[in-house]
Structure formats: C-alpha cells, structure tokens
Chains A and B, each alone.
Chain A
Amino acid sequence: MSASAPPLPSPQFDTRVQTIQSGNTILLRLPNGDTKAFKIDKDSTTSLGRLGLFYANDLINEPFGRTYDIVDKNLKIVPPLTLAEVEDTDATNELINDGEFVQPLTLEEIQALKQSGAHASEIIKMQIEQHANYSLKTEYSKEKYKKRKEAKYSKTFTTIEPTLFNVCDYWFKKDQSRIRDIRVDALSQMLNMANIRPGGRYIAVDDASGLVVSGILERMGGVGRLITVCDTDSPPSYPVMVHMNFKHETVAPVLSSLNWATAQADYIPISAPVDVPTEEIKSDRQQSRINKRRAASDLLHRTREELFAGEFDALIIASEYEPLSIVEKLVPYVAGSGSIVVQSPYVQILSDLHNKLRALPGYLCPSVTEVWLRRYQVLPGRTHPTMSTSGSGGFIFHAIKTYVQLV
C-alpha cells in the first residue's frame, strides 16, 4: 500500500510573506555570527555597517535563507555553506607560543588591500601566506583561524526566514529580559500546553514584548480568536510582531485587546458621547471623528461581551504582575478542561502560585516545570555541545480548569 497525495487545499494559507517584500523588517545573519534586523524598502539602499551598502531591490521577491556577497552595492547569491571534512594530521601546538610576532601583514597594508577592492578571500590568503606559524597549526586550528578572519573581512550575509523559532531566537539573544527569558523551547512548550490550534479561542496576557502573542497568532493562522489584556491605555504595542512580518489577515480578524480596567465586569467607560444628533454635526471632520469614536466604542463593547461570555480554550500568561490576581480575574472565562499556562523567569513566583492554587478547587494537576536546552556544534570530527549556552529559559506553570460536579 502506498501513500498518495490528496487534492491539496489551495491556495495554502500563509501567516506571513513567503518572499521578502518592501516594508519588511528582516533578520540578517552577518559574517561574525550576529543576527540583526534591517528594514527593506524598495528603491533604497540598506546599510550593513562595516559590510557596506547594497541595493534593497536585490532582496525584494527573494526567498528567505539565501546567502549573498555584496559586490559594488549589488548582491551575488552564493551557495550555502557545506560541511567540510578536516584531515587529521599529527600537528600539535607544542611549538606554538602566544604573543610572538607571527603576522607581518600590517594594519595599513590590510587597509590598502581593502581599498584596492580585494576580495575577503584574497586578503585572508595573503595573511595565511605570511603567517609564520600557520603551517605548524593543526587542521582544526587552521579552520578556526580562517573562520575568524572570514568573520572580519567577508562581506557575506544570509537572510533569515522569520519563523517563530528564528524570531524568538533573535530576541532571546538580543535582549532576553524584554521577552521575560522565554527561550524558544519554553515558548514552544507553552503553545503546545495551551493547545493552540487554528480555530481555537484564547486569552493571553503578554508583557513579553508580544512574543507570546506572536506565537499564538502564528499557530492560529488567521482563524479563531485571541483576546489579550494589557496594562496600557492605548492598544498594546507588541514589538516582536514587527519581525514576524505577519500578513494583515493573520492578525486583524483574530486579535483584540482589553486592558485591566476594560476587562473588569463592572467597568463603565468614561468617554465622549457617540450618539450626537445630526443637526449638531457641523463638519465632515466632526462626523468622521464621531464615526471613529463609535467604531472604537463598539469594538470595545463587543470585545468585553466576548470575554465575559467565556468558554475560552486556554489562558496564557507571561506577565510582570502578580500571577494569582491575573488567574483569579481571567480563569472564570476559561472553559472546563481548558489549560492555564503561566510563564515566569523566576521559579519562586510560580511555586508560590502553585501553593496558592493547590488550596483552591477547580485547578487539576498544577505543575511547575523548567525548560532545558542544549545546542551542539556539528562538524565532522568536532561534534560537541556548544561551549557557552543560555543558563535558563524560564519556568512554566500549568493546570487544567475543572468543575466540581457531583452526581
């Protein structure tokens, strides 16, 4: 028996663009291994600092993941890096001493080479030729040397597809405190624990720059409902979403936001009237202002009604505020058997929550877990865990909402 391809639903829904478009903020991996975000605008040049400028149009409509060399502001596609076997030799560092004058190529000479337009590979080759101890090095050490030099002189970069994994990884390395230490393994577990799926209905509290909201929206794929509760007067800014490059259809039909005042059942909005008699409207501008106000007020009303109607599939929290106060406010709107997921960089906060909820009915199997992740360097003959790694990716509390129903 064999598998056959069923008629595929077409077109395939994509939460974000599949190729680079003007206006995107995309992640680029630079020769030194760093990843940085750059905005790509049609008919402009993008500056990569030391690497120089290039015409942004060269990236537009390109798929993500390709590697380019900057040559006179133009981009040349280069094949992806392949793993090279390194020959084992008998060389050791027995005769190599630190601090010796080994590199006769002076800074001035290198500058001159660069200005003459020499390719990075030529500069490196020249450095190697003049390096006093190069031949003494082991093949592994030679590799490392070349890699280090390449990071210095190469004008090559790689575009990074804005998958949830890549964006989370970028933010974690850039500023993990702004995403509340949510490492990608923790984010992945939170999304699975909360049973995020297309068509689900969720409540989220995201004080992690919108990383959690981005993850939920990505997994929902434009269907379902997500209500977030934030601590600001105006709609929340979720800066992580900028790097996801979501399509409008991924976000607009799904996401609505309330704040800690408007999410209260007894809240009464203090706002200017929207039902102005027509004879009092003096200008088009006033009319459009009233229309806008009415739309905002209607949206707020609808979102509140929707929250209070409850039966949400899960509650996901990554917040700087006291977790029990959030859980007590929002759990009434979670359906029976729904998941409650709370993330914190600190285990103490979650163990405290655990102890408090354990004493209350309606929370089945509360648990606190820690995430653990280890990346490896995978090179022929040189495979080992990376030497430095992140110490903590945060902690996760999970419980299932239940009803006491005795028959």
Chain B
Amino acid sequence: MWSTAREIAAGDTVIIWLTRDVIQPLVVTPGKDFNSKFGNYRHSDFIGMPFGSKVGSRSGKGFIHILRPTPELWTMALPHRTQILYIADISFITSYLDIRRGSRVIEAGTGSGSFSHSIARSIGPSGHLWSYEFHEVRAQKAREEFAQHGMSDIVTLAHQNVCKDGFNLTDAADSVFLDLPAPWDAVEHAKQALRKDRTTRICCFSPCMEQVLRTVSALNEAGFSDITMYETLVRSHDVAQVPVLQSVSEIGDKLKKAEEIREIKRLRQIAAGQRSRENPHGEKRKRDDAMEVEVLPTVTEAEDSGSGKRLKTDDEMTDATLSRITHDGDVSRSLDGATRTPHTGPNHSGLPAKISVSKAAAEVRGHTSYLTFATLLPPIPTAPLEDAPTEGRPSSFKCTQETDRRLLLGLGMT
C-alpha cells in the first residue's frame, strides 16, 4: 500500500494535517506548491523529511504536519462520494468477520473506499478483497484511488450490481460485507460466493430497523445461523484541567466575613447618624472619612479577640491568593476567578493543584447503522466420516434426525 520508508519521497501520498477538522491527502509532486491559510509550502521541500514532520511555512507564519497515510487517517481525509464508515464500525466488523492476514473478503458497495482501505491493510498482500460498486463514476474513481495507493494487487474492483448479477464467485470468500440499500437481495449470491470448507461469516450494514428485519429473514431462509445484531459508537471526550474545586467551608467563611463587614458598616452608619444629630452643621464628609479609618480597625480588633480563629483562616486565604498571583500569574485562567485554597495534589511550589476532568463531547454521532451478523457453517456430513479417528469403537458420527432437533427446539410448533 503506502510508503513504509522513513522519509518522504516524490510521488508519495501523504496526509497534510492542518487542524483536527482540516485533514487532506496530497501527492508529493516536485514543482508544485501547497497553499493554505496556514501558509505556503513547496512540495519539493517535503522530500527527504521523515514522515510525521511538523513543517513551518516559507513565510514563517503557520505550520502543518505531514503524516504517513493510514486507513484511519484516510477515513478522515478522503473525498466523500457517499456516506462513509468510521473506525468504530470498521474495526468491529473486521473482528467479527475474523478478517486478518490472508483473508479473502467481499465488499459491496465500494462507496468512498473507507472500508476498502482498512480491509486491504488488514489482509495484506496475501489476502484478497473483491469490491463491487454499481455506480459507474464512483467505481471509476475508486479504481483510480486503489491504483494510486498501490492496492491494485490486493483489490479487484467491479462495476456491478450484486443484487441483480451476484458476485461471479463460487466458494471463494471467507467473509462478505454488504453495505447496500437492500442487502436481502444479495444474501443468496453471498452464500454462493462464500467457501463451504470452513466457517464463513457475513455482515449487513443497514441504518434502519426495517432493513434489519428483512435481512434477518433472508439470512435465516438461506441457512445462515448465529444471527445477531450490534450497534457500536465512539464517544469522544473533552478533556480539561480545572483548579481543585473549592470547599464550601471557604464559602462559609467568606459569607461570615461579609456579614462582619456589613455589621461594621451598620455600626458605622449608626455612629455617623449620632454624630450628624450632635453636629448638624458642616464638616460631615471629612469627619466621616476620618471615622472610617478610626472605627474599622477598632471593630476588627474587637472581633479578632472574640473569635480569632475565623479571621486567621481569612488571612491564610489572602496569603494563598497572593502567592498564587505571584507564582502562577494565571489566576485569570481559573474557571470563575474565585479565591481557592489548594487541598490535594502535588503543590510543593505553592501552585494551585489542578485536576484533570473529562466529559463526553456535547454533540456526538448517535447512530451509524445496525450491524447484522450471521455465520455459514460447512455442510454437515451425512455419512460417517472416513477420517474420524475411531480406534476401538464404531464411529459415532451420524446426523440426528432433523425432526429430532425440531422436537427439541420447537416442540409441536408449526
């Protein structure tokens, strides 16, 4: 498939990573430029750099990352021709269908090739993928893409409607993946294409429950067993760091402090009122100011001697706040700017302890498709097996009567 060399060479397909949401494929072509809002670059400058390089633009403003393509990056970067499959479904299907080195897999339809690239990677050069697409232009585009990515030996692409015309294969594949509007029409064809000398599997990918029910009936009638259905999703998490959450004791202390100040103010107003009654003429403002300086410490001292502990806590709080401003300079980053006292975590430097938090992203993909799986077992031998090791006693192999099994399972049902 793609280059496995350490360094980028001319003609390589690379993935240009601009941001999390802007990821695009590029074929490195000497003489060409790559221009984006993250700066201008010459393709020839990429040659010889190791894959994974962070590259600054020629003007010095902006940078990009040049990555080695993987099927997962390709899924993020590929030109969409259809709705595509994503990692959760692709990886789950790969496991269920037992796809690995050397597997022979059928896929219909090809679509935008997201699944095809992943499967081609997993089966490797000793495996084979037959991919069918009934839309002519999409088939052509996919064919070009597979050739560009060095997958032509692994993938055979056919422009064909498999529901009508089948797969043109008999006893060839280990597994079948159907991403079709009416997969039930292709189930019999799939059965023909699957090999009968070992256990094989099928997956039908349908967004609607009605499709699932029809597919299940078709699979059951065609003799598939172990029919089951799954739904799988990825929930991405937003990760952040927040200062250690504040204790309500601190809030209580703050409220008490506020109450004390309110009381001081009340006393002060009473005092001011008395003064203004005693001295109704002039100099009110000036004396008031003087009073403030005078009265406040007096009251505070009185409080201090009464319940010193409370105020001590308050002093500590102030110290902590000051030290944070001095050492961290990052108070503005705390969520609400409230005064905090560190409680836990490594805090030798006097920095506020932070905790890592995460929550599921606000908007996530809620449904992709239902994955209906079924198994096709090799036919049951009707005669006693020749090669069954039977030393010393007669072979026990004999298929029990169909009616016996029916009786066991269905008892009197029609």
Q: Which residues of B contact A185 (CB under 8 A)?
A: 88, 91-92, 232
Q: Are B124 and A221 in contact (CB under 8 A)?
A: yes
Q: Does B198 contact A (CB under 8 A)?
A: yes
B63 to chain A, nearest CB (A): 8
- Contacting chain B: which of A72-80, A104-112, A171-179? A72-80
Residue of B nearest to A361 (CB): B54
Q: Taking A189-B91, A370-B360 as contacts, is the C-beta distance between A347 and B237 under 8 angstroms?
A: yes
Which B positions have Cβ atoms within 8 angstroms of A?
Answer: 6, 17, 20, 45, 49-56, 58, 63, 65, 67-68, 70-72, 87-88, 90-92, 94-96, 98, 100-102, 104, 118, 121-126, 128, 130, 132, 156-160, 165, 167-169, 172, 198-199, 209, 212-213, 216-217, 220, 225-237, 239-241, 356-358, 360, 370, 372, 375, 377-378, 380-381, 385, 387-391, 393, 396-400, 402, 404-405, 407-411, 413-414
A120 with B408, Cβ < 8 A, contacts A197-B124, A223-B101 known: yes
B residues near A195, Cβ cutoff 8 Å = 70-72, 121
For B125, the chain A residues whose CB sits under 8 A away are 198
Q: Interface code A1-37, partner B: CB below 8 Å = 1, 0 otherwise?
A: 1111110110011110010000000000000000000
Query: Would you list which residues of chain A between 373 and 401 have a CB under 8 Å from chain B?
Result: 373-376, 378, 380, 383, 395, 400-401
A84 contacts the other chain (CB 8 A): yes
Closest-by-CB residue of A relative to B123 is A198
Q: How far is the CB of A226 from chain B (nearest CB, A)?
A: 14
A210 at the interface (CB under 8 A from B): no
Complex Cα–Cα for A205 and B158 (A): 42
Interface size on A, residues (CB 8 A): 111
| CB atoms of B400 and A335 under 8 A apart | no
Min CB distance, A254 to chain B, in Å? 11
Give the docked Cα–Cα distance between A18 and B216 (Å): 27
Q: Are the C-beta atoms of B54 and A5 separated by less than 8 Å? A: no
Q: Are B55 and A405 in contact (CB under 8 A)?
A: yes
Contact status B235-A372, CB under 8 Å:
yes
Main secondary structure of the interface of A (DSSP, over half): mixed
Query: Which listed residue, B53, B95, B96, B232, touches A336 by the CB 8 Å rule?
Result: B53
Q: Which residues of A contact B407 (CB under 8 A)?
A: 121, 125
CA separation between A391 and B393, bound complex, in Å? Answer: 50
A residues near B409, Cβ cutoff 8 Å: 81, 84, 146, 150
Chain B residues closer than 8 Å to A335, beta-carbon distance: 6, 50-52
Could you say which of A161, A189, A221 contacts B100, with CB atoms under 8 Å apart? A221
A70 smallest CB distance to B (angstroms): 10
Bound CA–CA A202/B58 (angstroms):
35
CB-defined contacts of A206 to chain B, threshold 8 Å = none
A235 at the interface (CB under 8 A from B): no
Residues of B within 8 A of A124 (CB): 411
